[in-house]
Amino acid sequence: MPVTYSSYLKLDELLSLQRPISDGPEHDETLFIVIHQVYELWFKELLHEIDYLKSLLERRDTPRTLHTLKRVLTILKVVVAQIDVLETMTPLEFLSFRERLESGSGFQSFQFRELEFLLGMKNAAALDRYPKGSDPRGRLQRRLSEPTLWDAFLRFLSGSGYDVPPAQLKRDVRASIAPAPELRPLLIDAYRRDPTVASLCERLVDLDEGFQEWRYRHVKMVQRTIGTKRGTGGSEGAEYLMTTLNKPFFPDLWAIRADL
The per-residue pLDDT for range 225-260, each reduced to its tens digit, is 878 676 666 666 677 777 777 899 999 999 999 998
Cβ neighbors of 245 (< 8 A, separation 6 or more) are: 212, 215, 216, 219
Tell me whether residue 193 is exposed, middle or buried, using C-beta atoms within 10 angstroms of its C-beta: 0 to 12, 13 to 18, 19 or more: exposed
- At 230 the pLDDT is 66
What would the pLDDT profile of 56-84 be if each residue is shown by its tens digit? 999 999 999 999 999 999 999 999 999 99
pLDDT at residue 231, as a whole number: 62
Residue 160's φ and ψ, nearest 5 degrees, are -95, 10
Angle at 22 between CA 81 and CA 106, to 5 degrees: 40
- Give me the long-range contacts of 188-195 (CB less than 8 A, separation at least 24): 188/256, 188/259, 188/260, 189/162, 190/157, 190/162, 191/256, 191/260, 192/260
Please tell me the distance from the alpha carbon of residue 85 to that of residue 73, in angstroms, as a whole number.
20
The pLDDT score that the predictor gives to residue 198 is: 97
pLDDT of residue 23: 85
pLDDT at 122: 96
Q: What secondary structure, in 3-state letters, does the chain show?
A: CCCCHHHHHCHHHHCCCCCCCCCCCCCCHHHHHHHHHHHHHHHHHHHHHHHHHHHHHHCCCHHHHHHHHHHHHHHHHHHHHHHHHHCCCCHHHHHHHHHHHCCCCHHHCHHHHHHHHHHCCCCHHHHHHCCCCCHHHHHHHHHHHCCCHHHHHHHHHHHCCCCCCHHHHCCCCCCCCCCCHHHHHHHHHHHHHCHHHHHHHHHHHHHHHHHHHHHHHHHHHHHHHHCCCCCCCCCCCHHHHHCCCCCCCCHHHHHHHHHC
Looking at residue 106, what is its pLDDT? Answer: 66
Backbone angles phi, psi at 175, to 5 degrees: -95, 155
Residue 173: what pLDDT? 97
Residues in the chain, pLDDT under 70? 102-106, 228, 230-237
